[in-house]
């Protein structure tokens, strides 16, 4: 959360450590969960990559529910849509007046980015479940492949959808979450290549 909203904390660095004033972003929570899982699985001698593969559909399902909740609660706003939207059944999120960003009160409809993200994650969820079921019988994928492949796809989705998110600051090349998604993509590809090299 601090990384995403770094500009708000730069004037008062001590606020970063006031964890009682909020919580973790979902991505921070996932990172903490994965770190704890690594410690636990290694301590008790479980196969780390196998368990990460098996956990991936649950992680994706949780992210789908989160994005649907964000959509329903109007927590994630996309770019504003025109003031006169034709009735052509195109996707648009009506946002109540009190949730509209300052200076954009006249706009009623915004891109439903959370809904897009939930739909994209649903596709990755289906792919991961199918891969796990098929792999259970045919063993055509190395352990960890489903997890790493899913993480790469999730990062690509988050990076791409980042261009549709609302932001007052249009001068930025990429938004903080896009930089994080890009970093995750590169790191995951690197881990996959190293893993394949070690396996060979």
Which residues of the chain are modeled with pLDDT < 50? none
pLDDT digits (tens, 9 = 90+) for 41-88: 999 999 999 999 999 999 999 999 999 998 998 888 888 887 666 666
**Distance in angstroms (rounded) separating the CA atoms of residues 127 and 121:** 10
**Distance in angstroms (rounded) separating the CA atoms of residues 181 and 176:** 9
pLDDT of residue 58: 95
| Coil/strand/helix, residue 78 | strand
pLDDT of residue 85: 65
Q: Which two tokens stand for residue 40?
A: 């636990």
For the chain, the domains span 1-46, 48-199
| Coil/strand/helix, residue 77 | coil
pLDDT of residue 79: 86
Q: Which two tokens stand for residue 165?
A: 């998110």
CA distances from 93 to 69, 162, 198 (A): 13, 17, 47
pLDDT of residue 74: 85
pLDDT of residue 101: 83
**Distance in angstroms (rounded) separating the CA atoms of residues 39 and 48:** 10
Average pLDDT, the chain: 87
pLDDT of residue 88: 62
pLDDT of residue 91: 81
pLDDT of residue 26: 77
Q: Where are the alpha helices (DSSP H) in the chain?
A: 6-9, 26-43, 48-73, 113-138, 145-161, 176-199
pLDDT of residue 87: 62
């Amino acid at each position: 959360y601090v990384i995403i909203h770094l500009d708000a904390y730069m004037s008062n660095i001590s606020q970063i450590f006031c964890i009682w004033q909020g919580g973790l972003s979902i991505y921070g929570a996932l990172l903490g969960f994965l770190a704890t899982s690594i410690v636990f699985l290694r301590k008790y001698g479980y196969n780390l990559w196998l368990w990460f593969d098996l956990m991936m559909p649950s992680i994706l399902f949780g992210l789908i529910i989160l994005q649907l909740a964000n959509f329903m609660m109007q927590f994630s706003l996309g770019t504003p849509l025109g003031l006169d939207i034709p009735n052509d059944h195109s996707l648009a999120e009506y946002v109540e007046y009190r949730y509209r960003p300052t200076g954009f009160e006249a706009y009623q409809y915004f891109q439903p980015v959370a809904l897009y993200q939930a739909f994209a994650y649903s596709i990755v969820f289906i792919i991961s479940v199918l891969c796990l079921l098929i792999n259970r019988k045919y063993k055509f994928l190395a352990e960890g492949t489903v997890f790493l492949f899913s993480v790469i796809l999730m990062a690509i989705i988050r990076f791409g959808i980042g261009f549709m998110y609302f932001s007052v600051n249009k001068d930025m090349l990429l938004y903080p979450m896009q930089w994080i998604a890009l970093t995750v993509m590169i790191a995951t590809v690197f881990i996959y290549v190293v893993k394949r090299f070690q396996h060979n």
